[in-house]
Amino acid sequence: MDKKSIRKNILEARNNLDTHEKKKMDNIIEKKFLNSKEYICAKNIFIYISYGSEINTKNIILKAIKDNKNVYVPRTEIKTRNMDAVNIISFDKLIRNAYGILEPSNEELSIDPNELDLIVVPGVAFDNNKGRMGYGAGYYDRYFSKISEKYYKRINKVALAYDFQIIDHVPMDKNDVPVDSIITTSKIIL
């Protein structure tokens, strides 16, 4: 299957999840993530704010703030498809971007990507080789290219996914960056 078909099928399945079932799965994934060594050892965490049918990351963000982690969330520039990581201490000052996703305003300063310890990466589909297919705009792949080779291996790239988002093979281009691990309801792919 091509990327477009995979995206369509998985997003359709994710959008049709039963609300109660989704919440149960989100809680399982959240607990696994919060108990992971990647989370426990991280001081500077870059994590997306969940939107639509994505796994809920808002509780993770609030817990990380409570745990005195430095929490950074994406701020995007839609025209250039550029993304920065901006520190937050609550959801209070965030604004909705053109897609309706919460993000910090342009006045807030961003962190140097090399200072991050952990990046929680969104995605539509993944495979057992840690291949990742995003939404198609390339924000994260471009962001990863800003990380110096010296720090690249030190920064953990973790994805959160429902089991049905793990497919046999994710078609990847030369610019597509795999993740280091994937946490699902039933397993952790390392």
Residue 123 counted as an annotated binding residue: no
Q: Which of 12-26, 96-110, 115-129 has the lowest mean pLDDT?
A: 96-110
Tell whether the torsion through CA atoms of 169, 3, 187 and 72 is positive or negative.
positive
Supply the pLDDT for residue 138. 86
Residue 49 counted as an annotated binding residue: yes
Q: State the pTM of this model.
A: 0.94
For the sheet containing 132-133, what is the strand order? 132-133, 125-127, 166-167
Backbone angles phi, psi at 188, to 5 degrees: -125, 120
pLDDT over 90 (residue 115): yes
Question: Tens of pLDDT along 81-97?
Answer: 899 999 999 999 899 98
Residue 75 counted as an annotated binding residue: no
CA distance 35 to 116: 19
Residue 134 counted as an annotated binding residue: yes
Residue 6 counted as an annotated binding residue: yes
Residue 181 counted as an annotated binding residue: no
What domains are defined for the chain? 3-189 (3.40.50.10420)
Residue 157 counted as an annotated binding residue: no
Residue 51 counted as an annotated binding residue: no
Higher per-residue confidence, 59 vs 78: 59
Comparing CA positions, the residue from 145, 160, 141 lying closest to residue 49 is 160
Mean pLDDT over each residue of the chain, to the nearest integer: 93
Confidence of residue 100 (pLDDT cuts 50, 70, 90): confident
Higher per-residue confidence, 79 vs 157: 157
Supply the pLDDT for residue 172. 86
